[in-house]
Chain A
Amino acid sequence: MLNTFVVYVENKPGVLTRVASLFRRRAFNIDSLTVGRTEKPEVSRMTIVVDADRDQALRVEANLYKLVNVLFVENITAKPSISRDLAMIKVSATHEARSHVLELANVFRARVVDVAPESLTIEITGGEEKIDGLLEVLRPYGVLEMVRTGIVAMRRGTKSDETAVPATSGAGVATVASDDNVSYSV
């Protein structure tokens, strides 16, 4: 199953390589990885989606903590959270198809960001399923090009201020992550 990790790392050169190298070396499967700045200039934040069972997910977390530049790791899979993916989809839209495509984009609350004689480029933000849904209905018209950012995720409610490594190991005390508990929002 897919696990979503929020990882705070020191904003230093080479840290992304260290994280990516860890996943390759331990043969963990990355579904998506995004990295960007946070409210603190010295800290970067990654959202990493990994295909892993419960034990593997615990080992991903433990191995991330072994990296000296990793500050805090949280598996938010089973916690109330918001996750967003952004996609730009260039779809073939000739004169006859154009209004249909626009209508579909509207239904999905997507925006048209570029119009060309033979194509439209649509920007959509949302959970992965929503984007997958739009893609599916656009495919018959001809998807010419697509780019997705990968998931960025955040817990709901007040910020978890626990950005220090926990002093107790917590090994084995896993909150069982199940798909039912994941909160999706559109």
Chain B
Amino acid sequence: MIKTGAQILWECLEQQGVTTVFGYPGGAILPAYDALKYSKIHHVLVRHEQGATHMADGYARASGRVGVAVATSGPGATNMVTGIATAMLDSSPIVCITGQVGSKLIGSDAFQETDITGVTLPITKHNYLVTHADQVARTISEAFYVASSGRPGPVLVDITKDAQQSSCEFDGKPIKPQLPGYRPDLSPTPDEYKQALELIHSAKRPVILAGHGIILSGAMQEVRQFAERNNIPVGLTLLGLGAFPASHPLSLGMMGMHGEAWLNQTIQEADLLIALGMRFDDRVTGNLKTYAPNAKKIHVEIDRAEINKNVKVDVALVGDLKAVLRELLPKVKSQDRHDWLSYIDRLKGDVAVRDIQNLPDNGHLYAAHVINDLWRETLGSNTIIVTDVGQHQMWEAQYFKHEEPRTLITSGGLGTMGFALPAAIGVKAARPEAEVWAIVGDGGFQMTMCEMATMMQENLKVNIAIINNGYLGMVRQWQEFFYDRNYEATPLLSPNFVKLADAFGIRAVAVAQRSEVVPTVGMARKHRGPVLIDFQVEQEDSVYPMVAAGAALHEMIRRPNPLEETAADV
């Protein structure tokens, strides 16, 4: 049957199981939009193309399926750049479809022409320029395969206007991707397995570093069995949260710059690090020269290029984590490790006293209290938290305990402010049965708050919790610690968020007392539509502990003695 490139595009997306796309129309993509009338796919009209990419990203992270964003050429495409880079650094499978000027016009600086495949070359896993209708089907098939296999990532498909308009024969049969150079299915050698087992069995003080790869590979059960059988404590990266239950006795919480002090100490004293699906990011390691100085390292990772990139490892097992652990598990001996675990317990006890949860209620509203209360209130229900970037993100990671994978969606690698609201909309579109909360700062929220209109148009219920401290809080914290309290460009005058939400038709409340937190959260959960809560929190609170950039992982800036602090406050 003869069909246009535009019709083939939507049919191929349907074949890939796509039900929802997030996009914004424009001249060069109009033929595709016109052909949408033949398709069952639901199109979500965003307010800015960056929002479309974050929605596709949130959709992908919440569901494990590929998220799809659509935009026109030129500014439409360049507005996607931040979202694409976000997905790239966090290994999120999205496919971005952009319109391009007619193939005859390429290179002529035509209206709304940008070389978007050139622009996105270093921030996509792969990208394509399609100039004929007969390339559409093959390209979409390859794009989805590349985006979702191996280490997932964003793929951009740029389709010229004439490729959308012209026609070719299309029989509707799925096309198998032909990528002779693409081999995402590596596996370790028997010898490498043997070396890893020897290190595990001879270790006295091992620790598992659990990352995002566990969730991407679906290896939660295998990791749990592995940790339990050999009694190895588990520390998590930010994106790993949820990969191992926070309430599990072997869980040590989050590691790194704002990680738990006992865990950072544990890593520094360990004699074996078992890194599972993580990449030794600088926020996790601190100073590399002093990182885990006495530890041997095993790195299980699907991306071979990550091996020995930041941290030199002793054994690398390159392959899909779930498959690797399944191979390894039957050969892992049971070990007791009583001394090591009770030593770590002592570390925990020593530092827990400084925890903000142990501060007496002095009438101030602390962000950590808000987040911890939200966690208690939503405990046991199917809740997904989407955070923005900054202090509130770290407090979320510390005080909201994630038991299940894909219950925390956050921009880790790129640290993209403005991520939360659009990503949360994508999450809700993918998981309508879940209770979705966007936790945002007053700064980041204002970067993409226009997407409240998208949320209302789509009739999606995402509750928004603004942690409003009147500052770009994390930057202010750095200025406090490292720039002599010179609060340059960080005080933030915000609009009245309650009135603003009202204009979008969203119910909103401001909260300034701790006693109001629980009732307001309860109201928000019961209300049929979305609710925005403006939590007006302590302005100059900081996230502790903190490993300063370039410092060793165990050299942490600690919360000042809580007793002294309380005295000062009173």
Task: Please tell me if the beta carbons of B189 and A70 are within 8 angstroms of each other in the complex.
Answer: no
Q: A72 vs B129: C-alpha distance in the bound complex, in angstroms?
A: 24
One of B129, B305, B318 near A66 (C-beta < 8 A): B305
> Judging by beta carbons under 8 Å apart, are B186 and A169 in contact?
yes
Contact, CB under 8 Å: B180 / A62: no
Cα A172 to Cα B195 with chains together (Å):
12
User: Which B residue's beta carbon lies closest to that of A15?
Assistant: B181
| Structural contact, A18 and B121, CB atoms closer than 8 A | yes
- The reply on B309 being an interface residue by CB < 8 A is yes
A25 at the interface (CB under 8 A from B): yes
The answer to whether the Cβ of A63 comes within 8 Å of any Cβ in the partner chain is yes
**Is B318's CB under 8 angstroms from A169's CB?**
yes
Whole-angstrom distance between the Cβ of B346 and the nearest chain A Cβ: 36
Size of the B side of the interface (Cβ < 8 Å), in residues, is 31
A69 at the interface (CB under 8 A from B): yes
Whether A102 is near chain B, meaning CB under 8 Å from some CB there, is no
8 examples of A-B residue contacts, CB within 8 angstroms = A17-B121, A59-B305, A68-B146, A71-B180, A167-B187, A169-B316, A172-B192, A172-B316
Interface bracket on A? 20 to 34
- For the residues of B in contact with A, the DSSP-based class is loop
What separation, in Å, do the CA atoms of A37 and B180 have in the docked complex?
18
A14 CB–B CB distance under 8 Å: yes
Please tell me if the beta carbons of A68 and B121 are within 8 angstroms of each other in the complex.
no
CB of A164, distance to nearest CB on chain B (Å): 8
C-alpha gap A133/B303 in the complex (Å): 43
B185 lies within 8 A of A167 (CB): yes
Task: Identify A62's interface contact among B122, B125, B304, B312, CB under 8 A.
Answer: B304
Q: Which 5 residue pairs of A and B lie closest in terms of their CB atoms, listed nearest first?
A: A169-B318, A62-B305, A165-B183, A62-B304, A71-B181
- Asked whether B188 is an interface residue with its Cβ less than 8 Å from the other chain, the reply is yes
Q: Is B179's beta carbon under 8 Å from chain A?
A: yes
**Least Cβ–Cβ distance between B314 and chain A, in angstroms:** 9
List residues of B (117-137) whose CB comes within 8 Å of A's CBs.
117-118, 121-122, 125-126, 129
Does B182 interact with chain A (Cβ within 8 Å)? yes
CB B532 to nearest CB in A, in angstroms, measures: 40
User: Closest approach, in angstroms, between the C-beta of A61 and any C-beta of chain B?
Assistant: 9
Q: Which residue of A lies closest to B142 (CB)?
A: A68
Chain B residues, Cβ within 8 Å of A63: 305
User: Taking CB as reference atom, which chain A residue is nearest B305?
Assistant: A62
C-alpha gap A88/B303 in the complex (Å) = 43
Chain B residues lying within 8 Å of A17, measured Cβ to Cβ, are: 118, 121
**A58-102 interface bits toward B, Cβ cutoff 8 Å, 1 = contact, 0 = none:** 110011011111111000000000000000000000000000000
Q: Which of A159-184 contact B (CB under 8 A)?
A: 164-165, 167-173
Determine whether the beta carbon of B181 is less than 8 Å from that of A10: yes
By a CB distance below 8 angstroms, the chain A residues around B179 are 68
Q: Are A65 and B304 in contact (CB under 8 A)?
A: yes
Say yes or no: is A21 at the interface (Cβ < 8 Å to chain B): yes
Contact A167 B183 (CB under 8 A): yes
Of A70, A164, A170, chain B has the most CB atoms within 10 Å of the CB of A170
Q: Which of A25, A67, A170 contacts B181 (CB 8 A)?
A: A67
A169 proximity list for chain B (CB < 8 A): 186-189, 192, 304, 316, 318-319
Asked if B315 lies at the interface with its beta carbon under 8 angstroms from chain A, I say yes
Is B308 close to A, CB under 8 A? yes
- For residue B312, give the distance in angstroms from its CB to the closest CB of chain A: 7
Complex contacts, B56 vs chain A, CB 8 Å: none
Q: Is A55 an interface residue (CB 8 A)?
A: yes
Q: Are A168 and B308 in contact (CB under 8 A)?
A: no
Which B residues are CB-close (under 8 A) to A72? 181
Query: Residues 283-322 of chain B: 1 if any A CB is under 8 Å from the residue's CB, otherwise 0?
Result: 0000000000000000000011101110011011011000
A62: chain B residues at CB < 8 Å are 304-305, 307
Mask: chain A, 6-33; 1 = CB below 8 Å from B; 0 = not: 0001100110011001000100000000
Q: Given B180, B189, B305, B312, which contacts A168 in the complex, CB threshold below 8 Å? A: B189
- A127, chain B: closest CB distance, angstroms: 30
CB distance from A109 to the nearest CB of B (A): 39
Contact A172–B146 (Cβ < 8 Å) = no
Whether B180 contacts A10 by the Cβ 8 Å rule is yes
Known: A17-B118, A21-B121, A169-B188. A68 touches B181 (CB 8 A): yes
- The answer for the CA separation of A58 and B185 in the assembled complex, in Å, is 19
Task: Report how far A165 CA is from B318 CA in the complex, Å.
Answer: 14
Q: Mark B319-330, 1 if CB is under 8 A from A, else 0.
A: 100000000000
